[in-house]
Amino acid sequence: MTTFFAELSGMLTDPFMRRSLTAAIIVGLTAPVMGTYLVQRKLSLLGDGIGHIALTGVAVGWLVGSTMGLVKSDALAIPGAVVAAVLGSVAIELVRERGRTSGDVALALMFYGGIAGGVLIIGIAGGTNANLMSYLFGSISTVTITDLWLTIGLGAIILLVGVGLSSALFSVSHDEDFARASGLPVRGLNIAIAIIAALTVTVSMRVVGLLLVSALMIIPVAVAQLVTTSFRRTMMVAVGIGVAVCVVGLSITYWLPQSPGAMIVVLAIALYAVVAALRPLVVRRRTESRDPHPDILDDVTLDQGAPRCSA
C-alpha cells in the first residue's frame, strides 16, 4: 500500500503528468457536452467526419510551418486543424440545411477527402505518414505548455456556448420547426453547434486522437442515456463519465505502456457494456417494488392468510 501511494504521489508531482491530466480533464468535460447535442440530432458520426477534415488542417499547418522555416515544422499543426475543422463543419451544415445532398453522403465526402488530403499535403510538406500517427491516435506525451493553454482556451469556449446556450441548442437539436416557430435563430444556432463540434474535435486531438475522438463524444452520452431520462441530467452524467474514464485511462497508462486514447475509449465501452447488462435487472426491481397507485389506500388486508375487505 505504501508503494502504491508513493507511485501515486510521483505521478501527481510529475510536471508531464500534471499537464496530461489537465488536458484529459478538459477533454472529459467538453467532449460529452457536445456529444449530447450530436446524439440528439442523430449525427453521432459527425465527429469522425470533422476529425478527418482536421487531419488535412494538420497537414496544411505542417506545410505552412515548413515553408516559413519554423524550427518545429508542426508548430502550426493545431491552429491549422482548428481552421480546417471549423470550415469543414460549417460547410457540411450548410449543405445539410440546403438539402443539396444527404447527410451521410456529405459525411462520406469528409471522411475520404480529409484522409486523402492529409496524406497528400504532408508529403508535399516533406513529412511522412508516420508524422500523422500522433494526431490520428493521440500522443499526450507531446502536449506542450502552449498546447495546454490552447486546449484550456478552446475548452472554455466550448463550455461557455454548450452550457450557456443549452436551452436554445436543445430546442434546435430536438425540433427545428418548433424552434423556428418560437423565433429562435435556427441557422445561427446550427452553425454554432457545428463550430463547437469542430473545436471539441481539435481539443480532444492530442488526448484520444482524431480517429477516436467521436467515441469519447458519443459513448459517455450513450451510457448516461441508459440511466437518465432528461436532457440536462444526461449531459451532467455524461460529463462525469467522460472525466472519469479520461483520468482513469490516463492514470493506467502511466504504469502500463499502452496508448492513452485507446485505453480511455476501451474503458468507456466496457462501462457501457456493464451498465447495459445491469440495467434490465435494476428496471425490473424498480417495477416490482413500485406501487401503481401510491396515493390510494389498499382496500384489502391479510389476516392469517385470508383476505378481508376493510371498512
Domain map of the chain by residue range? 6-284
pLDDT of residue 288 exceeding 60:
no
Q: What is the pLDDT of residue 8?
A: 66
AA identity, residue 49 = G
| Burial (CB count within 10 angstroms: exposed 0-12, middle 13-18, buried 19+), residue 53 | buried
Q: Which of 44, 93, 83, 37 is nearest to 63 (CA)?
A: 83
Q: Which tens digits make up the pLDDT trace of 64-85?
A: 888 887 657 677 888 888 899 8
Q: State the Cα angle at 9 between 7 and 14, rounded to 5°.
A: 95
Q: What are phi and psi of 211, to 5 degrees?
A: -80, -20
Check residues 280 and 141 and name the one with the higher pLDDT: 280
Q: How confident is the model at residue 285 (pLDDT cuts 50, 70, 90)?
A: low
The answer to whether 121 and 214 have CB atoms below 8 angstroms apart is no
Q: What are phi and psi of 125, to 5 degrees?
A: -75, -5
Q: How far is residue 308's CA from residue 285's CA, in Å, rounded to a whole number?
A: 28
Task: Report the range of poorest mean pLDDT among 50-54, 80-84, 106-110.
Answer: 106-110
AA identity, residue 120 = L
Q: What is the pLDDT of residue 256?
A: 80
Q: Which tens digits make up the pLDDT trace of 196-249?
A: 888 888 888 877 888 788 888 899 999 999 998 888 899 999 999 999 999 998
Check residues 260 and 293 and name the one with the higher pLDDT: 260
Which residues neighbour 120 within 8 Å (Cβ) at sequence distance 6 or greater? 59
The answer to whether 264 and 254 have CB atoms below 8 angstroms apart is no
pLDDT of residue 287 exceeding 70:
no
Q: For the chain, give the percent of residues with pLDDT over 70.
A: 82
Which residues neighbour 276 within 8 Å (Cβ) at sequence distance 6 or greater? 226
Q: What is the 3-state secondary structure (H, E, C) of 232-245?
A: HHHHHHHHHHHHHH
pLDDT of residue 155 exceeding 80:
yes
| Torsion of the alpha carbons at 68, 70, 75 and 77, rounded to the nearest 10 | 30
Q: Which CATH number fits domain 6-284: 1.10.260.40, 3.30.428.10, 2.40.50.100, 1.10.3470.10?
A: 1.10.3470.10
pLDDT of residue 297 exceeding 60:
no
Q: What is the pLDDT of residue 179?
A: 84
Q: What is the pLDDT of residue 311?
A: 46
